[in-house]
């Protein structure tokens, strides 16, 4: 086997011929291996857009360079003289080469290695240091790999039945992206910068009439804009409200009652201290006053530290939290009632049939309506508005758990990348990693587009 044939195998170049090779040393004493290549007769002078053979328009004076995967300590570059071709459909463009995608100066194998390492858990900084490329280039290479593996991302929109909608922040300052997940495949099918009705309508605008009619269940939080979009574009779909958000509403109501009790206790403490000072000044000091002040301060401290004991599920409480919860329930009947209402609402999602859940939820609404706790009176109005959506959640057994898990993956990707400046690069990363697409290591598996 000749030297050129060995280089062709090592570089994983298909559809090309190795002509020559030489070494060059840069200013930083790094060794660079420069391999001169050219497309074979079958692959030369093709349009990069449509792939048809075209007449040569002109020849460049100097050879073009592509960065390839390294050989040990040596950086490898492919050098070739690529003419411009004149395509009848796409005009004058640089001819396509079989070892790289159009518009990039990195070989396809180099791009795949960067994406593989990033998906393996390395940060963009580590990948850029390892491959000796710019930090921003890593994101662009990942986007290139996604476009290569999935040339038509809109095929994910075919056959949607159960979808989940949510927004997640990707930068400080309430900067969000809207993410839509297919519950049946647990993959992201669409993502876009921003949130709200205008953004969600962009998703439904991309769907055909047949694709919209196939959607049967849409899960999400209680946002009004999600409900409005579903009713407008998918009137036959059932809207479900995620149980986590419903219980979170109840936790917020309990916390409002807790804060109110804490404020009232502080006012009572201030009055008690003021009265004790006045009694002391007048010579009528109450010997039990100091004990009452001490006891009230302890109650205030207990209320201050009781947010988690009141919000957590009883089965998940620690021994210390259970003790604190019992102390609160014994001393504050209003807060005990609020906590009981929260737990009763949580139990509705343990029911498995629509009729049983409806009967139980109607009783809860009536109980909360007459509890004389403003936070829960307001909550029962909200529950009443979303009652049908809550019952749909119980009937279909779907929640936003998968999309919340996807949001955690997205936040992990953002943290690994140390943030993104280009939203398109971030969305490309999300679509590639939060999917069933497998990124093969160059030379170890076939790069097959998603079916």
**Residues 86-109: tens digit of each pLDDT:** 999 999 999 999 999 988 899 999
Give the pLDDT confidence score for residue 419 in this predicted structure: 65
Give the pLDDT confidence score for residue 451 in this predicted structure: 44
Q: Is the pLDDT of residue 26 over 60?
A: no
Q: Is the pLDDT of residue 402 over 60?
A: yes
Least confident of 271-275, 373-377, 422-426: 422-426
At residue 263 the predicted structure's pLDDT band, cuts being 50, 70 and 90, is very high
Q: Average the pLDDT over 40-58 and give the result.
A: 89
Whole-number Å distance between alpha carbons of 243 and 237: 19
Give the pLDDT confidence score for residue 212 in this predicted structure: 92
At residue 380 the predicted structure's pLDDT band, cuts being 50, 70 and 90, is very high
Q: Is the pLDDT of residue 394 over 70?
A: yes
Q: Average the pLDDT over 36-64 and give the result.
A: 87
Give the pLDDT confidence score for residue 201 in this predicted structure: 93
Out of 147-151, 183-187, 435-439, the most confident range is 183-187
Q: Average the pLDDT over 277-302 and give the result.
A: 81
Whole-number Å distance between alpha carbons of 181 and 47: 36
Average pLDDT, the chain: 87
pLDDT above 70: percentage of residues in the chain = 95
Q: Average the pLDDT over 297-312 and give the result.
A: 87
Q: Is the pLDDT of residue 220 over 50?
A: yes
At residue 365 the predicted structure's pLDDT band, cuts being 50, 70 and 90, is very high
Residue 79's alpha-carbon distances to 42, 201, 363, in angstroms, are 19, 47, 76
Q: Average the pLDDT over 417-442 and give the result.
A: 80
pLDDT above 90: percentage of residues in the chain = 36
At residue 374 the predicted structure's pLDDT band, cuts being 50, 70 and 90, is very high
Q: Is the pLDDT of residue 180 over 50?
A: yes
Q: Is the pLDDT of residue 450 over 50?
A: no
pTM: 0.77
């Amino acid at each position: 086997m000749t030297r050129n044939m060995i280089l062709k195998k090592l570089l994983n170049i298909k559809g090309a011929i190795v002509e020559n090779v030489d070494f060059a040393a840069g200013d930083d004493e790094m060794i660079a291996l420069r391999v001169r290549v050219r497309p074979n007769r079958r692959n030369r002078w093709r349009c990069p857009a449509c792939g048809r053979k075209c007449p040569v328009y002109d020849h460049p004076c100097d050879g073009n360079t592509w960065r390839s995967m390294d050989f040990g300590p040596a950086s490898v570059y492919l050098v070739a003289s690529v003419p411009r071709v004149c395509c009848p459909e796409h005009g004058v463009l640089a001819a396509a080469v079989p070892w790289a995608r159009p518009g990039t100066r990195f070989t396809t194998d180099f791009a795949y290695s960067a994406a593989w390492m990033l998906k393996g858990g390395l940060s963009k900084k580590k990948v850029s240091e390892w491959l000796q490329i710019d930090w921003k280039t890593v994101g662009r290479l990942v986007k290139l790999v996604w476009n290569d593996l999935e040339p038509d991302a809109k095929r994910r929109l075919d056959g949607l039945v159960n979808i989940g909608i949510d927004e997640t922040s990707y930068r400080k300052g309430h900067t969000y992206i809207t993410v839509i997940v297919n519950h049946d495949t647990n993959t992201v099918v669409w993502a876009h910068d921003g949130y709200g009705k205008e953004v969600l309508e962009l998703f439904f605008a991309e769907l055909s009439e047949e694709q919209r009619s196939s959607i049967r269940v849409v899960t999400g939080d209680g946002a009004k804009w999600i409900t409005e979009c579903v009713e407008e574009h998918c009137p036959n779909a059932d809207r479900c409200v995620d149980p986590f958000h419903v219980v979170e509403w109840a936790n917020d109501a309990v916390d409002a009652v807790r804060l109110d009790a804490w404020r009232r206790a502080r006012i009572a403490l201030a009055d008690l201290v003021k009265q004790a000072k006045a009694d002391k000044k007048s010579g009528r000091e109450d010997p039990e006053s100091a004990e009452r002040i001490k006891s009230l301060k302890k109650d205030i401290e207990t209320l201050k530290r009781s947010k988690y004991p009141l919000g957590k599920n009883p089965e998940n409480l620690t021994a210390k939290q259970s003790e604190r919860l019992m102390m609160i329930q014994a001393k504050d009947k209003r807060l005990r009632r609020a906590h009981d209402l929260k737990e009763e609402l949580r139990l509705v999602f343990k029911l498995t049939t629509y009729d049983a859940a409806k009967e139980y939820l109607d009783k809860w609404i009536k109980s909360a309506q007459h509890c004389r706790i403003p936070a829960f009176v307001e909550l029962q109005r909200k529950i009443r508005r979303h009652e049908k959506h809550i019952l749909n959640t119980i009937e279909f057994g779907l929640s936003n758990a998968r999309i919340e898990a996807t949001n955690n993956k997205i936040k992990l990707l953002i943290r690994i990348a140390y943030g993104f400046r280009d939203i398109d690069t971030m969305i490309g990363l999300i679509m590639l990693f939060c999917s069933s697409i497998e990124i093969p290591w160059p030379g170890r598996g076939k790069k097959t587009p998603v079916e």
